[in-house]
Amino acid sequence: MTFQPRHRSGQSLGEAAAPRDLVKGDIVEGIVAAVTDEGVHVDVGAKYEGLIPRAEFASQEELPKRDERIEVAVMHVDEENGVIRLSKKKADIERIWRRLEEAAQTGEPVAGMVTERVTGGLRVDVGVPGFVPASQVDIRSPRNLDRFVGRELRLKVLEVDRKSKKVILSHKQLVEEERAKRRAETLSRLYEGAVVEGRVRSITDYGAFIDLGGVDGLLHVSEMSWVRVQHPSELLKVGDRVKVMVSAIEDGGERISLSRREVLPDPWKMIGDRIKPGQTVKAVITRTARVGAFARLVGIEGLELEGFIPLRELADRSVSDPREVVQPGQKVDAKVLDIHPEARKMTLSIAEVEQEKEREEYREIMRSKAGEEPRRTLGAALAAAGIVPQGEVQEAPPSGQDEAEPEPEAAEPAPAASAGPSPEPAEDTTT
């Protein structure tokens, strides 16, 4: 089909008096003039409208609308027959290559979808196939590249070769550059004593590393609370947001020490009348030492306190090793012996509580015995049966009292000698 020259005022890209000369390979912008079964007719400012074959569009939804501006590539110009063959797909690919080449020069990041894991790295779609080496995937060497499949990554273009259709990209370099920028911004506003919020990045036996925004600080386990913490996982987990105070910045920001307890209320200043000497409290043993054990008070809202139980106060018997009596994590009842808020010390006693319980048990036994009826003697039982006169029976003393000893009776006189005849002498058997 041959098209007649069209120069619509206000719609064509060129002036009617100066039509555009096109050659194969040009990338130009045009205006959609019509969409037919044959294809998409585009006014590119030349003598004739160009045609994009319908086959370039996979579905009706991909077809451009009338008067829409699109970029096309000139594939063939036939001046004799007035035919200009165009391609939108070719123009799109050309535009992608130009963008990648510019990104490689300027360092501008591009977005790419990871389509599959291949030998040595990842295959990504950045408009054209690209490759991310495994060493350029992340800051820390990833153990499982499959987890990146299906994810969109922001990438830095390292190398572009249009002839060999090779595109090498890096996610790692972009992350490092962005992190360095955030680090500089974060360090510019950090100072010793600043209170900031960060995210728990990792946990170790001795503390937690907090990401403050491109900068990691160490929150040591001793700075997590006013009471002793056995392991950081007791209070924190990876991903938690936590407010901390910057306690030290060393080596130009390479080492940053943090404290959580400094942003918490000081419990020693909040004791007031809430805890007094002589009061019995509930506690959990946190650790043992050669001379005693440490216990954290529980059940007192808003107060995190730790007291010391001396060896002699662990039990009401002789103890040579605290582990004979208590173990870390064990719940106990203890009596507060003394408190020294200014020295941040509190002395507790388990032995006092045990002794108090024993004294209370003894008093309870005595109270129950005091309420019993007097003991019934054998004489009282005989009197009740009418065998012995009632007046001759004496009640037994109450339980717990000693019975009075009977007074000794007067000695009876010896019996008088008999007045009868004297016995005869024994017969003498001597020969």
Q: How confident is the model at residue 380 (pLDDT cuts 50, 70, 90)?
A: low
* Residue 359 confidence class, pLDDT cut points 50, 70, 90: confident
- Judge whether 30 and 43 are in contact, CB under 8 Å: yes
- Given a cut of 70, whether residue 353 has pLDDT beyond it is yes
pLDDT surpassing 60 at residue 393? no
Q: Is 375's pLDDT higher than 80?
A: no
pLDDT at 294 over 90: yes
Tell me if 380 sits within 8 A of 389, measured CB to CB: no
Domain 192-263 has CATH 2.40.50.140: yes
How far is the CA of 70 from the CAs of 35, 89, 374, in angstroms? 13, 11, 116
Angstrom distance (rounded) from CA 336 to CA 123:
68
Q: Which range (36-40, 91-95, 389-393, 425-429) has the least confidence?
A: 425-429
Q: What is the CA radius of gyration of the chain?
A: 51
The residue with greater pLDDT, 115 or 300, is: 115
- HEC string of 4-49? CCCCCCCCCCCECCECCCCCCCCEEEEEEEEECCCEEEEECCCCCC
Which band of pLDDT confidence, cut at 50, 70 and 90, is reported for residue 402? very low
What does the pLDDT read at residue 143? 78
Cα of 293 vs its chain's centroid, Å = 28
CATH 2.40.50.140 assigned to domain 107-175? The reply is yes
Q: Quote the pLDDT of residue 377.
A: 61
- Per-domain residue ranges of the chain: 1-106, 107-175, 192-263, 267-354
Whole-angstrom Cα distance, residue 177 to residue 357?
67
Q: Are strands 292-298 and 280-289 parallel, antiparallel or unpaired?
A: antiparallel
The secondary element (H helix, E strand) that includes residue 102 is helix 88-106
Q: Taking 90 as the threshold, does the pLDDT of residue 264 lie above it? A: no
pLDDT in tens, 21-65: 788 888 888 899 999 988 999 998 888 788 999 888 888 888 888
- pLDDT for res 116: 94
Quote the mean pLDDT of the chain. Answer: 82
The whole-number pLDDT of residue 226 equals 83
Contact predicate 170/132, CB 8 Å: yes
Residue of 28, 67, 56 lying closest to 44 (CA atoms): 28
The structural architecture, per CATH, of the domain 267-354 is Beta Barrel (2.40)
* Whether the predicted pLDDT of 8 surpasses 60: no
pLDDT band at 206, cuts 50/70/90? very high
| Residue 253 CB contacts under 8 Å (≥ 6 apart), including other chains | 183, 187, 190, 215
List the single range of 11-15, 50-54, 286-290, 304-308 with lowest mean pLDDT: 11-15
Nearest CA-CA partner of 63 in 45, 84, 82, 89: 89
pLDDT at residue 401 above 60? no
CATH superfamily for 1-106 is Nucleic acid-binding proteins (2.40.50.140)
Mean local confidence (pLDDT), 221-244: 89
In which element (H, E) is residue 360 found?
A: helix 351-370
Give the residue with greater pLDDT, 210 vs 414.
210
Residue 60 CB: number of other CB atoms within 10 A?
7
Helix (H) or strand (E) holding 310: strand 306-310
Answer yes or no: is pLDDT of 73 > 90: no
pLDDT at 192 over 70: yes
- Cα of 250 vs its chain's centroid, Å: 27
pLDDT at 4 over 50: no
Highest mean pLDDT among 11-20, 82-91, 119-128, 136-145: 119-128
Q: Is pLDDT at 430 greater than 60 in this prediction?
A: no
- What percentage of the chain's residues is helix, strand, coil (to nearest 5)? 25, 30, 45
- pLDDT: which is higher, 7 or 172: 172
Q: Which residue has the higher pLDDT, 19 or 418?
A: 19
Predicted confidence (pLDDT) at residue 399 exceeds the cutoff of 90: no
Rounded distance between C-alpha atoms, residue 245 and residue 264, angstroms: 10
pLDDT of residue 45: 84
